[in-house]
Amino acid sequence: MCHGGWCFEDLTRRLRGLGHSVHPLTLTGLSERRHLLQGTVNLDTHIQDVVAALDVEDLRDAVLVGHSYGGMVITGAADRAPDRVDSLVYLDAVVPTGGDSCWSLVSEQERRWYLDVDETGYASRPLPFFDARATPHPIASLLQPLRLTADLGNLRRRDYVYAAGWADQSPFTATYERLSADPGWTTHALPGGHNLMRDTPDELAKILLDVAAYR
């Protein structure tokens, strides 16, 4: 939420330096694409952002990485483009099933944040401690239920990377514990805060390299 592809800069540099093709995306209506923010931007828009990038770059066997709200987006993109997606990696993220919305998966604290909309009436304001480059986030993308048509359990890998270093109680602890007991998932815990790509880029790069190595 509220961020752009720039938040993956350190991780992108490390992976590209090792010869991997990396495509950090900024979703419609955010950051350098904030001029596209309007009331019609929703979860389907953001899923299509990813699917379009897969198509235009002609990517195959892609590992999709989604942070926080991005878990909604990569789940939908894998459903829409199953011939192009190999694995999913959730970074301290929501893990939806069909019919879930980001709103339905978060706590009342997060919902109160979502409802703090800007003057347009259709975007949630960045929290005060966010990066100065953060911009309002289209609230329709948080309210819209996810539509799925297939069983994503057929993907080669699904990994969950849990941030164990939250300053207060993590809202993702229950998700991490549930997936750790599921043989269909590989789980990891890193000592950073919610923005793992900023706090633990080296450790996170090792996890992603492991995921990509077995394609």
pLDDT in tens, the chain (215 residues): 999 999 999 999 999 999 999 999 999 999 999 999 999 999 999 999 999 999 999 999 999 999 999 999 999 999 999 999 999 999 999 999 999 999 999 999 999 999 999 999 999 999 999 999 999 999 999 999 999 999 898 899 999 999 999 988 899 999 999 999 999 999 999 999 999 999 999 999 999 999 998 55
Look up 68 and say whether it is catalytic.
Answer: yes
Enter the tokens of residue 204: 């996170």
Per the document, the length of the chain is 215
Residue in 68, 87, 124, 141 annotated catalytic: 68
Scored b (16 or more CB within 10 A) or e, 184-210 reads: ebbbbebebbbbbbbebbeebbebbee
Domains of the chain: 5-213 (3.40.50.1820)
Burial class of residue 90, CB neighbours in 10 A (0-12, 13-18, 19+)? buried
